[in-house]
Amino acid sequence: MALEIKAPRGTNDVLPADSYKWQMIEDAARRVAQRFGYREIRFPTFESTELFERGVGDTTDVVQKEMYTFKDKGDRSVTLRPEGTASAVRVCLEHGLFGGLMPLKAYYLISAFRYEKPQAGRFREFHQFGAELYGSSSPQADREVIELAASFLRELGLDRIALNINSIGCPECRKNYHQALKEYFSARAEELCETCRGRLERNPMRILDCKSPICKEIAAGAPLILDYLCDDCKEHFEILKKSLTDGGIEFHIDPHIVRGLDYYTRTVFEFTDPDSGLALAGGGRYDGLVSELDSKMQVCGLGFAAGLERLVGVMQERGLFPEPAREGAYIATMGQNAVPVANKLASELRKLGIRAETDLMNRSVKAQMKYADKTNSRFAVVIGDSEVESGTVTVKDMAGGEPFEAALSEAAKAMAERI
């Protein structure tokens, strides 16, 4: 009977023929993070539910509607991480990293889980490259994080990506803004979705990020946070804009960006693909998150995360994945005497770090050569009785180069020198 179990809705499988695309992106992420002085952190796939309720915010869509939360067998409420920022802060608090050298810079490559309606570029399990910087209140730190994200996208060959920035101020300037929003939305409270009616008193800014079409339409005419910034927040934003301009990083100001997570203060930003309208990366400053999770600690933070599925999609559309180049060698065998000789040559090649394969299917030489071609082998060698006897082989260069002869004992080295 055929297997009827399918991958869960909103998840993806990466097949052997495509995994190099993911590796390209992950390698670029590690390279670029390293260049800016960020080191990797790793943390669990699931955490106490409370971490996200307090960190991400209990009036956000993520916490109210999208978390994979369940009781484990010990009756504890745990949640599959919907993002990495809250976990990264938890790691730093738990291990006392905020008492060490500052600024503290860390990056991560993680899976994340959100129970969203699957559609183009939106999945229930997705992957992120994220970077976080702690301990600096300077707008230069904001510039650095944005520059890191921009460099990563450039490293992938992605130009024509729009950078939109905004400032959503600090708790001080938000008091007046919240008041203005309450007044604005109260007038049309009946039309708001049920969740947003609940948000009106507790956190009216969240209504600006609701995905329901009617709330979106009402939110389009709402007062803008930029008109309510205090002097310090205004100055921070001005310095950031100048620093981006000085650094040749193009941006647009989009006063409608509020982001979907509660912890942001001041700078917020998104990198968007203009063709699909999808956000490829997003982030911002979160100066209150650390103290939200540990009231004794006051540490500024900021960062961003990029969605890897979306990057793969856009890079595919733009033809940015090179065809895999020919590499490695295939050692074909004709007859049983050749088998140990071919195995020996293959293991010598592998010791030199070169992919080498031999026949495991008892195929004809013709079929073996077809396999060598389809697996993109750079070299092919056929070993039969006469090669075993003479101790020399002919190496075929499948990339179109001249074939060459080599002593069996020298063949691995001769191929390695040409790769």
Minimum Å distance from CB 173 to ligand HAM?
Answer: 20
Minimum Å distance from CB 66 to ligand HAM?
Answer: 8
Residue 244 contacts residue 167 (beta carbons within 8 Å): no
Nearer to ligand HAM, 208 or 329 (CB): 208
Minimum Å distance from CB 76 to ligand HAM?
Answer: 23
Nearer to ligand HAM, 21 or 114 (CB): 114
Chain residue at closest Cβ approach to ligand HAM: 307
Residue 51 contacts residue 90 (beta carbons within 8 Å): yes
Residue 149 contacts residue 261 (beta carbons within 8 Å): no
Nearer to ligand HAM, 85 or 243 (CB): 85
Nearer to ligand HAM, 263 or 379 (CB): 263
Minimum Å distance from CB 130 to ligand HAM?
Answer: 5
Minimum Å distance from CB 13 to ligand HAM?
Answer: 15
Minimum Å distance from CB 133 to ligand HAM?
Answer: 9
Which among 90, 79, 401, 138 is positioned nearest to 266, based on CA atoms? 138
- Residues 52 and 50: their CA atoms lie apart, in Å, by 5
Nearer to ligand HAM, 114 or 396 (CB): 114
Nearer to ligand HAM, 306 or 382 (CB): 306
Minimum Å distance from CB 164 to ligand HAM?
Answer: 12
Minimum Å distance from CB 219 to ligand HAM?
Answer: 18
Nearer to ligand HAM, 132 or 142 (CB): 132
Nearer to ligand HAM, 244 or 312 (CB): 312
Contact positions vs ligand HAM (CB under 6 A): 83-85, 114, 116, 121-123, 126, 128, 130, 132, 260-261, 279-284, 303-307, 309-310
